[in-house]
Amino acid sequence: MHNNTLTIAVPVFNEVESLEIFHQKLGEVAEQLVAQFALNVEILYVDDGSSDGSVELMNRLPSGAFSVKTVCFSRNFGKEAALVAATEHCKKGAIVFLDSDGQHPPEMLPEFVRRWKVEGNDVVYAVHNKRQDHPIKQKMVGVFYRLINSGSRFEIPANAADYKLLSPRALEAMKACKERIRFFKGLSTWIGFKQSAIEYEPKERISGTTKWNFLKLLSLSSEGVISFSTVPLRATMFLGVAIAIPASVYGFWIVLSALLMGNDVPGYSSLFTATVFLGGLQLILLGVVGEYVGHMLREIKQRPIYIVAEEHSLQAKTPEVADASGR
């Protein structure tokens, strides 16, 4: 039974202008999945504290051969929290995640399901075939993936999107991860199983502008690195060694030259420069360690990842009901 159930999870944040058009397109594909693969399909919208009327619109979205369910947060908790909520409020079975802005084409869903049902893949994910970002951003993305994958036993695919399908057992493995601070791209790779990538080119947004800015992306990236890599901590140790050894040798040479050869000790300028440099470096390294300590503190507090304000569901229409309504 679980192998015939699919939840299509859609995080939503202030997408009132595009939501109705998106739901129409997604509903058509959901109808196709029901007919082609004989699936029990549920569309699950998770509202991440929208303030533009998205909640009211979500609760009015119609069902068809698929059911519709909405879960609304009490405030904005972030996309990662919305993905967690989707895994905890979906039906037992497989789940696929895609964005509500239209950049993740719903038309790809049959191929996702085929790779799961026919080829036996447990994780199917979309990968940007060609990034259109600014060159500086592309360089930063490359550095991020090299950093997070350094020294790791598994490799998080570069340029992978959150457009992703998890089989029933992959979903259960994901739900077994109990950390409060989640990095979805990393966890979906960490769980293992048979995985398959689908190249795609993101479409234009249906309307509006992206809700992500540089600071939000930087925050998400830092949480990902802290969650899956200890390279920054090791780098601080190696940097300390790299500075300490030459400094010790140079200090020993100054002492010898002053005692044995009578050379004058260098003035205060070099001393002042070295002190300021090392002081600034120590603050940076303390900040790196502080990020890890703060990460641990947030985990230890065990506050809920999100708080649900309301839920709403609309069951799938039976063929008799659909015929009576003219559909």
Q: For 56-78, what is each residue's pLDDT tens digit?
A: 888 888 888 888 888 999 888 88
Mean pLDDT of 119-134: 78
322 pLDDT tier (thresholds 50, 70, 90) = very low
Residue 267 in this model has a pLDDT that exceeds 70: no
Q: Which residues contact 79 (CB under 8 A, 6 or more apart)?
A: 11, 13, 48, 162
Residue with the larger pLDDT of the pair 325 and 288: 288
Least confident of 96-105, 177-186, 247-256: 247-256
pLDDT in the model for residue 125: 87
pLDDT-wise least confident of 110-114, 193-197, 312-316: 312-316
Tell me the average pLDDT across 96-114: 87
- Look at the pTM and tell me if it is higher than 0.75: no
Residue range 117-133: mean pLDDT, rounded: 80
* More confident: 323 or 56: 56
Q: Any idea of the CA torsion for 163, 169, 172, 176, to the nearest 10 degrees?
A: -100
pLDDT at 89: 87
Token duo for residue 6: 């699919």
84 sits in the region (left: phi over 0; alpha: psi -120 to 50; else beta) called: alpha
Q: 123-128 and 160-166: which strand pairing?
A: antiparallel
Element (H, E) at 37: helix 16-37
pLDDT of residue 132: 61
Q: What is the pLDDT of residue 280?
A: 74
CA quadruple 50, 56, 62, 68: dihedral sign: positive
Mean pLDDT of all residues in 183-194: 81
Q: Is 203 left (phi over 0), alpha (psi -120 to 50) or beta?
A: beta
Is pLDDT at 11 greater than 70 in this prediction? yes
Q: For residues 199 and 157, give the distance between their C-alpha atoms in angstroms, rounded to a whole number.
A: 12
Closest by CA position to 7, among listed 114, 61, 88, 78: 88
Position 165 scores a pLDDT of 92
Cα distances (Å, whole numbers) of residue 301 to 14, 103, 221, 296, 321:
29, 36, 22, 9, 49
Residue 187 binned pLDDT confidence (cut-offs 50, 70, 90): confident
- Mean pLDDT for 110-138 is 80
Tokens (6 digits) for 244: 């300490």
Please state, in angstroms and rounded to a whole number, the distance separating the CA atoms of residues 306 and 85. Answer: 8
- Considering 76-85, 213-222, 291-300, 310-319, the range whose residues carry the highest mean pLDDT is 76-85
Q: Are the beta carbons of 156 and 189 closer than 8 angstroms?
A: yes
| Amino acid present at 45 | Y
pLDDT category of residue 162 using cuts at 50, 70 and 90: confident
Residue 16 CB neighbours (<10 A): 18
Residue 180 CA to residue 241 CA, distance in Å, equals: 34
Q: How far apart are CA 287 and CA 281, in angstroms?
A: 10
